[in-house]
Amino acid sequence: MFAINKRVSSKDKLDAVLQELREQIRNGSIRPGEFLVSEAHLAKQYHLSKTTLRKVLADLEREGLIEKIPCIGNRVREIPAGRRSLKFYCYDVCYELPVYRRMIRTFQDSHPDVEIELIPLPNANYVQQVLDKIETGEQADLVLLSDDHFNYLEDTGKTDLLCRASSANDIYPKLLHMFSAKGELRAVPVVFSPIVYCCNSSIVPDSESLRLDSWNDLLRLSKELTKSDADGIKQQYGLAFTASPRRWLMFMHQNGGSFFGENGRPAFAEPAAVEAIQFFESLIHSNLISPYMQGDFRADRFLFENSKVALLLSSYFFMNELHSLPFKWDVLPFMPSDKQKSTLLIGSGIAVPARSEHRETALEFAEHMASESSQSYLKMNACSIPANRSVAENRSLVNHSIHPKHYHSFIDLLPYAVPIKDLGVGYRLLSEIGLEMLYVWMKLDTAADTCRRVQEKLLRPVYEQSLAATQNRMG
């Protein structure tokens, strides 16, 4: 098991301490009227400088949680009558959380009678935790959803638990589609990313000169960048990735493969899909390139962060962790494909549960997060791509301290980027298919036999049910 080399910036540390003190006040550990311990004690407890600590206290004071009493200390304020307190649930692996906390404070500054509590939940089984809170009537006013989470809700018929959302101006149409069900927007898109290749610029210094048009080009470069010592011990790999659906589905689509054909019949056992699965499996098991990272999804990233991998198949979300690395890195300004240009599109949005007692305020906040000013702030402080088209494509909005040289290369990829929901299978069926694919990744079966089994075992029943339903409607 890898010990993840998690680099914590001073900004992240400040936000973590702020969140901890905020939680202690909100949950009553420090009660209204009580004083915080001395600033010297807090600075020592949290290993902060006095200057950084005072920034934390200033934020708590601005949020109305404490008041500074001259020559005495910092006292927890009474919660004013009529103040609306909203609970905003998010998954704890969200890369944008520090930025979202500051965006929340901006909203609260303009709405002094509103308090929004950002509550991270464990990513494991996150969407079910959220559903449990909504369905049991526990307070849940705002929910952060990835496209995966939304696909689950749509597949299980649960999107009616969410309010209809208003489309903010200039949001990418593909993102509106990503978070819509039955033609109605149910979550406001905030950020997105295509699946891309990140490169370690100390290993690949001139990425623009690379010729990566096809899978063969990718294979060739990966082999060239894989290095071993005299004893055959690998010193670095050319390419790393995880075998998640967000990776192998991209290769399938690039080869023109699909789960169902144009006539609606199962097509997963056709050559286009089988060839793509075979190529992906060959990447996994080649001794010259990527090791297969099964289990902890952070393993390939750990290798990349420690200069043991030249290329990493990942996303703009992951790039939020790279700004403090001791080497330069970039996103490749192209996507090697086979029969057709393609990549997958992923994203996240904010939904408002229909049972929330603060629906109007929550919807206003969701729109605030998608506003041009908020999206501009997000872009300048994160690598994740804003959902607002004009902000995302504004090349003057660049922060060179965190954005890679080819940050805006996503613009050329977007016309070919496909949301997973458009690949023809629902969340639960895709999960079952993913388990069957383990036979291939673990070399327990051939790609052809596995694809044929998936087609007959999982896809054909879906086709036959759809065919029967159509015949019944026609009478």
Q: What is the pLDDT of residues 65-108, one digit of tens each?
A: 888 888 888 998 876 666 789 999 999 999 999 999 999 999 99
Give the CATH number of the domain where residue 43 resides. 1.10.10.10
The stretch 47-64 carries a mean pLDDT of 84
Of 337, 372, 392, the domain-final residue: 392
Instruction: Please report the pLDDT score of residue 287 as a whole number.
Output: 66
Residues sharing a CB contact under 8 Å with residue 220, sequence separation 6 or more, in sequence order: none
166 and 46 fall within a common domain = no
Residue-wise pLDDT tens digits, 308-358: 999 999 999 999 988 888 899 999 988 998 889 999 999 999 999 999 999
Q: Is the pLDDT of residue 150 over 60?
A: yes
311 is a domain residue: yes
324 and 361 fall within a common domain = no
The C-alpha angle with vertex 83 and arms to 25 and 375, in degrees rounded to 5, equals: 85
125 and 228 fall within a common domain = no
Instruction: Please report the pLDDT score of residue 210 as a whole number.
Output: 81
Instruction: Please report the pLDDT score of residue 249 as a whole number.
Output: 97
Query: Half-sphere exposure of 293 toward its Cβ, with a 13 Å CA cutoff?
Result: 23
Return the H-helix or E-strand segment holding 195.
Answer: strand 188-200
14 and 72 fall within a common domain = yes
Instruction: Say how many C-beta atoms besides its own lie within 10 A of residue 82's C-beta.
Output: 6
10 — pLDDT class (breaks 50, 70, 90):
low
How many residues would you count in the chain? 475
| Arithmetic mean of pLDDT over the chain | 90
CA distance 218 to 311: 10
90-117 b/e with 16+ CB inside 10 Å = b?
bbeebbbbbbbbbbbeebbeeeeebbbb
372 and 266 fall within a common domain = no
Give the CATH number of the domain where residue 119 resides. 3.40.190.10
Instruction: Please report the pLDDT score of residue 173 as a whole number.
Output: 96
Instruction: Please report the pLDDT score of residue 247 as a whole number.
Output: 93
Q: Is the pLDDT of residue 262 over 50?
A: yes
416 is a domain residue: no
274 and 290 fall within a common domain = yes
Q: Is the pLDDT of residue 297 over 80?
A: no
Q: Is the pLDDT of residue 5 over 60?
A: no
CA distance 177 to 165: 12
Question: What would the two tokens of residue 224 be?
Answer: 């060239």
Range of the domain at 56: 10-76
The stretch 392-397 carries a mean pLDDT of 97
292 and 434 fall within a common domain = yes
The stretch 406-432 carries a mean pLDDT of 96
Q: Work out how many domains the chain is built from and give that number.
A: 3
407 is a domain residue: no
Instruction: Please report the pLDDT score of residue 385 as a whole number.
Output: 98
52 and 179 fall within a common domain = no
Of 51, 76, 101, the domain-final residue: 76
233 and 91 fall within a common domain = no
475 is a domain residue: no
Instruction: Please report the pLDDT score of residue 245 as a whole number.
Output: 92
270 is a domain residue: yes
β-pairing, 142-146 vs 84-91, is parallel
Q: Which of 92-106, 178-192, 293-307, 409-423 has the lowest mean pLDDT?
A: 293-307
CA distance 200 to 309: 7
397 is a domain residue: no
474 is a domain residue: no
276 — pLDDT class (breaks 50, 70, 90):
very high
Instruction: Please report the pLDDT score of residue 371 as a whole number.
Output: 95
Instruction: Please report the pLDDT score of residue 44 as a whole number.
Output: 87
Percent of the chain exceeding pLDDT 70 equals: 94
Helical ranges in 268-406 per DSSP H: 271-285, 299-305, 359-369, 372-381, 389-392
pLDDT: which is higher, 454 or 206: 454
329 and 438 fall within a common domain = yes
Question: Residue 370's closest CA among 390, 354, 345?
Answer: 390
431 is a domain residue: yes
Instruction: Please report the pLDDT score of residue 1 as a whole number.
Output: 27
Instruction: Say how many C-beta atoms besides its own lie within 10 A of residue 11's C-beta.
Output: 13
CA distance 83 to 21: 20
329 and 266 fall within a common domain = yes
Q: Is the pLDDT of residue 13 over 80?
A: no
425 and 365 fall within a common domain = no
